[in-house]
Amino acid sequence: MAFQASETHSNTDIKPFRKQYRLFHAAFAQFCYTGAQVAIASYFINYVTETRANTSSSLAAKFLAGAQGYVYLLLFSLLVLQTKTFTVAAPGIFIVED
């Protein structure tokens, strides 16, 4: 284990915890990223409830979950198809060519 530590941390100095600035910057970046996700989700839910008639907050949250699921499914399918040539026929419709 000492060998792994010496190999992976060969160019860094051993510093006390309070001087590990990269760790604190990374934690702050993660905090900001999570806050941005929450802000965008709440804005979307408020937008849907105000613009679509007879829509509750729970239904708007389901719309958000469905939209996120669609986007992640689309990204995953693009990842699978990245080795093949495909043409975009319409938004969400792809033609795979061999």
Supply the pLDDT for residue 48. 94
Report domain extents, the chain: 2-97
Which pLDDT does position 91 carry in this prediction? 65
- Whole-model pTM: value is 0.59
Q: 10-residue block means of pLDDT along the chain (98 residues)?
A: 68 73 90 94 94 94 93 84 65 64
Q: Among positive and negative, which fits the CA dihedral 49, 46, 33, 35?
A: negative
Structure confidence at residue 90 (pLDDT): 66
Per-residue model confidence (pLDDT) at position 9 = 65
Instruction: With residue 87 as reference, give the H or E element that holds it.
Output: strand 85-90
